[in-house]
Amino acid sequence: MKKGYALVSTWDKSGIEKIASALAEAGYSILSTGGTKKYLEEHGITVTSVESVTGFPEILNGRVKTLHPFIHGGLLMDRENPNHIKQMKEKNIRPIDFLICNLYPFKKVLEAEEKETSSFSMDNTPLLERLIENIDIGGVALLRAASKNFNSVTVVSDPADYGWITEKIKKNETPTKREKLKLAVKAFKQTSNYDSIIFSALERFTGSNEMDNSSVHEIPDKLNLELEKLFIPRYGENPHQKAAVYAEISSSAGSLAPPRQHGLLGMKQLQGKQLSYNNILDSQTAADLASSFDAPAAVLVKHQIPCGAAAGDNMRAVFIRALAGDPVSPFGGIFAFNRPVDESLAQEIAGLFFEVLLAPEITPPAMEILSKKKNLRILTGDIKAVSGWEFRTSGPLFLMQEADRLEDNVELNYVTERTPDKEELADLLFAYNVSRMVKSNGIVLAKSLATAGIGSGQPNRVAALETALRGKEKTEKAPDEFVLASDGFFPFGDTVTLAAQSGCTAIIQPGGSIRDQESIDEANKHSIAMVFTGRRHFRH
């Protein structure tokens, strides 16, 4: 006995022959168009063309195929509405009981185009036209119509559902009402995501709401995110916490990450277990800081806090100085380098326990050495693949801000009688950069382009300095003299007093306190050079 129609209209045709064959054997008439019809017929399935039902051929190079009352009437007919049944009989429209449909691959086309060009402007007419031609109209309309009428129509938009639905058909069963609703929800989700990707991509051509524009007026009223689950780590921050890792898969105007990048996961992992939740957080801090230095640099991070950093010429020597600043805390932490890791550096770090190594490249001899550390996660590639925006949650609220980047040319205001000499100035700028990544209140002590002590996350700035000084005393060959960087201004002169008593020769800080003069006077009293930057770097 012939049943209603089963409409099959897909771009991705893999696997449709099995479900279509089951439907045909169950008594449904298979209805299709163009390439899908040809594909099914090649697999021995009898297919009725849409145009033979509608009496109207495809037009506009295939832009209009299924947009017809005979098709949408068959999908939207309420089987329990007498008026609907009467009209369908009068118009000789048969019901469509199944819809198997997926859409033009707009996202894949977009991703391919992004690899070839970064110019999304109205002047790039060929690119705009290619994207427009990959916008599915009929498929979206079919999915929405069938999903609205899920009581009567089984809508299948995900190939992952072909298997269990095929088995039901073979048993002469139809999906339950609950199953049909789940399928409809999945289809609505697909069309929603599809539309989001399209409008976000096309909006880039208009030049509006570009998130790489730092003006606060360009922050959109609505932030549209499409996130894809990449993997589930064993647990979150602690073993009792479930966790997951997501990344944006759309290039929206409200995008938090550059197109085509999955941040750290866009790097190549050469060995080691899957990154953990905490590995990702710590590694991002290390990558952000290491990539911010122009000179060769080594950064050691634990619990999202730098515990050692240095810059210089020879990477092995740089690492030794970074580790000397705190030889204890990096145990089990993250090592990041902004230059290739060679054999001599690999030999230096091979005897230490750390969880992740990040570098642009590992030379073959170095890799041979490090490969013996089976549990070490090694990632190579662009460590500068970071977002221009940061996204956090606070209870039910979502917070977004520009990432805190070090300005290219720091405008320095020399406020004391003595100005820093060349070596002091270099150390000040080095420490100032590191201080951006230290939890506030943060203090960084440095000497010869290497950290000598770090005070992080303290409730007041004197406590932060005391923590940094305790760390300095535990370092190998603790320097008698050092420079100091503070992520925020000094509310009183007491921090300068303590710094002077401990060997500080120069200070860099934002300034801006109503008691700035108190700190300046204290610095002059001890011949300390003090520099204001006019920009604080709190990190909560």
> What are the catalytic residues?
148, 303
d(CA 31, CA 22): 14
d(CA 212, CA 404): 13
Of the chain, the end-to-end C-alpha distance in Å amounts to 69
From the number of C-beta atoms within 10 Å of its C-beta (0-12, 13-18, 19+), residue 342 rates as middle
- What residues have CB less than 8 Å from 299, skipping those under 6 apart? 286, 289, 290, 306, 308, 309, 322, 335, 336, 337
34-42 helix and 16-25 helix, angle to the nearest 10 degrees: 70
Which residue, chain included where needed, has tokens 């039901």? 168
Q: What are 520's two structure tokens?
A: 């300046």
Local structure of residue 221 (DSSP, 8 states): S
Contact 260, 283 (CB under 8 A): no
Contact 343, 365 (CB under 8 A): yes
| Strands 413-414, 443-446: pairing kind | unpaired
Q: What are 77's two structure tokens?
A: 């007919």
106-116 helix and 177-206 helix, angle to the nearest 10 degrees: 30
- The amino acid sitting at 247 is A
Kindly report the number of other CB atoms within 10 A of residue 162's CB atom. 19
Rounded to the nearest 5 percent, the helix, strand and coil shares of the chain are: 40, 20, 45
Contact 32, 8 (CB under 8 A): yes
d(CA 481, CA 527): 13
d(CA 214, CA 226): 22
